[in-house]
C-alpha cells in the first residue's frame, strides 16, 4: 500500500504508529501547536513535551488530552522565547529528564510565534517579533541539536525538524527580503517597521533558517510550512496596528481554516514517508505535498548564509555553545 499523498492526508488515519518516538512542540498549548500535540498524542509516542510560556495553561491542555488519550505521556515545559534564560532552562529541563524515551528527540516542532505586537525589544534586545519567532527558536534548536544528532545515529532514526512559517515570509517583507543590516534588529529602529512587515520579516527568517539547517545537517529532515490563514487567537491578541487587524479579522473568520486544518501541513511534514519530502524546502496549505518558492528571497543563498552567520554571531555573544559538528 502506497503512503498517503498530501491531498488525501487525514492525521487520525494516516499518522503512523509513533511508539518509541520523543517529540517536542513549542507553543503547544494553543492554536496550531495544540492541534499538533492532539493529533500526535493519538498515535502513542513515547513522550510529547509541550512547551508553553504559562505552565498552568499547559497543564490544563495536558489534563484534557489525557482524558481523551489515557495512555498518552505528555509533559509540560515552561518556555518564554522572549528570554534566552528561559530557553536555556527549557532545554536543560528536557535534557535532564530521565523519562524522555532513553535520551531521544525524534521530532522538533518550532511552532510558537507572535504577530501584531506593539513595538518593543526582547530581554536580549532584539526586535520582539524577530527575537521570539527566529532568535529564540534558533537558540533552542542549537541547544537541542546534540540530542537530535544522537537520535539520528540510532538504527530506527528518522529525525524531523518542522518550522511553522507563513506566506507572510514571502509577501509582507522589506524590499530587500531581510533588512540590509541585521544589526538594526537590535534597535528600536527595527520596531519602527509596521507590525505586519515585522511579522513577515521574521517568517522569512524561519524559512531561511530551516533551509540552512537542512544544508548543515542533511541527515535530519528540516522543512518549513505555511499553515494557511488560520482562525486562531493570534488575531485576538494583536496589539500593533490594531485597525488593520480589526479590518482583517472578519475576512479571516469567514475564509480562514481552523487550527486543526492549519496543523495538517506540519503534521504531514513530521510524519509522512521521508521519500515524499524535499529537505530544506517550504510547503504551503492546499498544496503542501509540493514545495513552493513563492519569492526569490526564500531561496536566496546569500540571504540564507548571511542570516545564519549573523544569528550564530549573536548567539555566541550570548554564550551559546555553537552548532555541533556532524
Q: Per-residue b/e over 151-190, b at no fewer than 16 CB within 10 Å?
A: bbeeeeebbbbbbbbbbbbbebbeeebbbeebeebbeeeb
What pLDDT, on the 0 to 100 scale, is given for residue 295?
Answer: 79
Class of the 12-317 domain?
A: alpha beta
What pLDDT, on the 0 to 100 scale, is given for residue 285?
Answer: 79
Q: What is the reported pTM? A: 0.91
Domain ranges (residues) in the chain: 12-317
Of 40, 46, 49, the residue nearest 68 (C-alpha) = 40
What pLDDT, on the 0 to 100 scale, is given for residue 259?
Answer: 86
What pLDDT, on the 0 to 100 scale, is given for residue 122?
Answer: 97
What pLDDT, on the 0 to 100 scale, is given for residue 16?
Answer: 97
Is 199 noted as a catalytic residue in this protein?
Answer: yes
What pLDDT, on the 0 to 100 scale, is given for residue 179?
Answer: 86
What pLDDT, on the 0 to 100 scale, is given for residue 173?
Answer: 66
What pLDDT, on the 0 to 100 scale, is given for residue 11?
Answer: 95
Give the residues across from 121 on adjacent strands. Answer: 127
Q: Are 19 and 46 in contact (CB under 8 A)?
A: yes
Q: Are 283 and 9 in contact (CB under 8 A)?
A: no
Q: Could you say which DSSP state residue 117 is in?
A: P
What pLDDT, on the 0 to 100 scale, is given for residue 175?
Answer: 76
Write a three-state SS string for 199-236.
Answer: HHHHHHHHHHHHHHHHHHCCCCEEEEEECCCECCCCCC
Catalytic residue among 49, 109, 126, 199: 199
Establish how many alpha carbons lie within 13 A of residue 171's alpha carbon, considering only the half-sphere containing its beta carbon. Answer: 6
Helix, strand, coil % in the chain, rounded to nearest 5: 50, 10, 40
What angle in degrees, to the nearest 10, is found between the helix axes of 31-41 and 259-271? 50
Cell of 322: 555553537
pLDDT < 50 stretches in the chain: 1-3, 169, 235
What pLDDT, on the 0 to 100 scale, is given for residue 56?
Answer: 92
Amino acid at each position: 500500500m502506497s503512503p498517503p499523498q498530501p491531498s488525501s492526508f487525514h492525521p487520525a488515519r494516516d499518522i503512523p504508529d509513533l511508539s518509541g518516538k520523543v517529540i517536542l512542540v513549542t507553543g503547544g498549548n494553543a492554536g496550531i501547536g495544540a492541534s499538533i500535540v492532539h493529533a500526535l498524542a493519538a498515535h502513542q509516542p513515547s513522550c510529547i513535551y509541550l512547551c508553553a510560556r504559562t505552565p498552568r495553561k499547559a497543564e490544563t491542555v495536558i489534563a484534557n488530552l489525557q482524558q481523551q488519550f489515557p495512555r498518552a505521556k505528555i509533559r509540560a515545559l515552561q518556555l518564554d522565547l522572549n528570554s534566552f534564560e528561559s530557553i536555556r532552562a527549557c532545554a536543560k529541563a528536557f535534557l535532564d529528564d530521565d523519562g524522555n524515551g532513553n535520551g531521544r528527540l525524534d521530532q522538533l516542532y518550532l511552532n510558537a510565534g507572535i504577530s501584531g505586537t506593539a513595538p518593543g525589544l526582547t530581554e536580549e534586545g532584539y526586535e520582539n517579533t524577530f527575537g521570539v519567532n527566529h532568535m529564540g527558536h534558533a537558540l533552542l534548536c542549537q541547544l537541542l541539536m546534540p540530542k537530535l544528532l544522537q537520535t539520528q545515529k540510532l538504527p530506527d532514526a528518522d529525525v524531523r525538524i518542522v518550522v511553522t512559517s507563513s506566506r507572510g515570509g514571502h509577501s509582507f517583507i522589506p524590499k530587500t527580503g531581510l533588512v540590509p543590516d541585521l544589526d538594526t534588529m537590535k534597535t528600536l529602529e527595527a520596531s519602527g517597521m509596521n507590525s505586519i512587515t515585522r511579522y513577515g520579516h521574521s517568517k522569512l527568517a524561519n524559512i531561511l533558517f530551516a533551509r540552512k539547517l537542512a544544508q548543515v545537517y542533511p541527515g535530519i529532515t528540516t522543512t518549513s510550512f505555511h499553515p494557511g490563514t488560520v482562525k486562531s487567537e493570534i488575531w485576538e491578541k494583536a496589539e500593533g496596528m490594531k485597525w488593520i487587524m480589526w479590518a482583517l479579522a472578519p475576512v479571516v473568520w469567514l475564509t480562514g481554516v481552523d487550527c486543526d486544518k492549519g496543523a495538517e501541513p506540519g503534521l504531514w511534514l513530521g510524519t509522512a514517508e521521508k521519500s515524499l519530502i524535499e529537505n530544506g524546502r517550504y510547503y504551503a496549505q492546499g498544496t503542501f505535498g509540493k514545495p513552493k518558492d513563492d519569492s526569490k528571497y526564500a531561496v536566496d543563498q546569500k540571504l540564507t548564509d548571511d542570516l545564519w552567520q549573523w544569528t550564530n554571531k549573536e548567539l555566541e555573544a550570548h554564550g551559546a555553545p555553537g552548532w555541533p559538528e556532524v
